[in-house]
Structure 1
């Protein structure tokens, strides 16, 4: 099968074509990403209205370029997939509506893809990881631990009670004057910093359960920034490194607890998977590799280029769904929120029981 995937949930306008003939033959035939860094840089973050307009401007050309690179026309495809949520609803609607129009004129099946599921399944495109596996999904808008039992089958073990880890990276980068996007900027600054210089909290470490919290860590970084000497340039690098280490320690602690639950519930499971934009961070990968080794699991992660939002993950999720006959009608409504585990209780906020 050959599937076109469209991704417009945030500030990357992306499209890709993937194919799979079975027996580990999955391939990306073409992949195009048009980032919007210049459009959002003046504001220090993503502006939803600007992102939606940019998707309108870029998407047609991105799709044309992707099909040309793959050497295919619409008639050569087996289906069209698009992110239909969760995400910035204006952008989601641009991509989903475009995919529906292409589906209508080409009479190809349409697959409405959950953006989180696309991240969750990417490792099956790149590494052919079998079900079930334990997933740490970390991005600008999400921070969750889930057991992935199969396509459309997820059990959430933990989630953030306040902020997503990627949002904490972005806020830290802004406080330190490192620019946008924040994750790569903090990692670059941390490379020449001392992670022991600043004593920052490790939110939720040692507490029961698998939930996360990052608002207190962000506050601690802001307070540390306020005390920096104007002529201490090295302090920026040291604070970035201290923040990054605090995040890695917090994620590792939560994953250790989740791994115990996963091994008990899924004795045949062999992998800890990390996905989402923050999964590209090398320090976090190193911390999780140690956790996986102690738990007797193999750490699997997509290459960094497929950790951030991209069309290949959407195309692959669409392909997995089409193989199971999971096709969606053209009146499928875009969703700003779309949990993977609809049965999971709402997250408890700090100091409040679930």
Structure 2
């Protein structure tokens, strides 16, 4: 039931608020910390506090119990916070202000990916027992899974939004852009035939300049609509290819982005991956006799892996790479990557490309 409540949130902030509510009771203080760009942490959610000194507090790498747990990736606790020799005491003033006496911290881990730390700070003296540690670890594991689901849902929403923006840009280009071009051309033709009337010619020249200005403004707007944040660009492009594949073949093609956002890739590297996936989808269309396709993206340092998985006839034993697969392998190899095509034991074919990230 607890996990169901967490997953139902589908929002990182709400997931962590509910996790803290499950963890802290009575006068206890609890908080969550998320990684920042500098390798440290920042407290993002705090409950039960009375002074506000913990809110948005930055935790440098490996400082305090929270930083120690994030680096170690395992639960840690101190029954006497101020007397412990096992942690740094950078935050003694903060703990004293909140009257915290002891702290239990557990990592938010899911399949090797760390989403931060969940911590509990009772204000009463005592010791943490096995049940306390087990309870906190269970909530942290459920919260990490729920955060993972929420992050994937958020990314899917953002990719869908940017995909819709690109579709809208294409529609505006084909409709409004074409109309402005026609208006400008028509005005130019009229201007040519109105040379005997200087006043009319001046008015037509002004209209022509306005049409040019409107076309320029539209072009800038379309460029903004088409652009995607670098971290979303790969997902937007691959989703568009899945939609195009489904439109061509009538077969469902789903994009699945695992473990949060893909890394920001240079356009040249992203182009190689997108081209490779298009070639893989084309091979599915030609040879697989499949009924469904899944394209998945997963970041597992130091690799970014993109896989195309179909449920078709699989790879023949005498399969030899064709020109498309050979070209893909060479392009990826130039960037330090690789590609493999194998039969799935459960049926179908798995095409998998890896690229350092």
Q: Smaller-chain TM-score range?
A: under 0.3
| Relative contact order higher in (CA < 8 Å, ≥ 6 apart) | 1
Higher helix share: 2
TM-score under structure 2 length normalisation? 0.26
